[in-house]
């Protein structure tokens, strides 16, 4: 398990843009499972949409990408000092699909697995679930670079 304190040692994101609360399972070089608790207190719901709050698909994809970044960093076996000097840039997001709306009170579970890895380039399949129902999926391509 990786809690939010350790996540913040891996990712540069901070509130309100840190979109993963905990990692519950990681197999380095293979897969990661983590989640985000979606609450009505999120700033995004002030405008998306008043009276009918829906968590934006682009935020789901960003959370998926952050989960993928954690998987890539953990799989590289580098220490915290090295991680502090690196950043993950997403090169493409392909085949994105949104299947069901996500609302306040939902627990968004990210399941990311490695499709390909060569050098600093990672190709990942990401899926997002709420109560084991697929709500979104995408293929993510990222590169880890020096800051």
Q: Give catalytic residues, as residue numbers.
A: 48
Ordered strands of the 86-98 beta sheet: 22-27, 31-37, 107-118, 121-130, 133-146, 86-98
Going by C-beta distance under 8 Å and a sequence separation of 6 or more, which residues neighbour residue 129? 108, 109, 111, 135
Instruction: Find residue 127's DSSP bridge partners.
Output: 111, 137
Phi then psi dihedrals of residue 75, to 5 deg: -75, -25
């Amino acid at each position: 398990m990786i809690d939010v304190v350790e996540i913040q040692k891996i990712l540069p994101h901070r509130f309100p843009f840190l979109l993963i609360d905990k990692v519950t399972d990681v197999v380095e070089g293979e897969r990661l499972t983590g989640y985000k608790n979606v609450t009505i207190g999120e700033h995004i719901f002030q405008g998306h949409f008043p009276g009918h709050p829906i968590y934006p698909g682009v935020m789901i994809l960003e959370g998926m990408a952050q989960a993928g970044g954690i998987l890539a960093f953990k799989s590289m076996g580098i220490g915290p000092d090295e991680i502090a000097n690196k950043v993950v840039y997403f090169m493409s997001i392909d085949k994105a699909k949104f299947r069901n709306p996500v609302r306040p009170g939902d627990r968004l579970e990210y399941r990311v697995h490695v499709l390909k890895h060569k050098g600093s380039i990672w190709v990942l399949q990401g899926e997002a679930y709420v109560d084991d129902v697929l709500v979104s999926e995408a293929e993510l391509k990222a590169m880890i670079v020096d800051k």
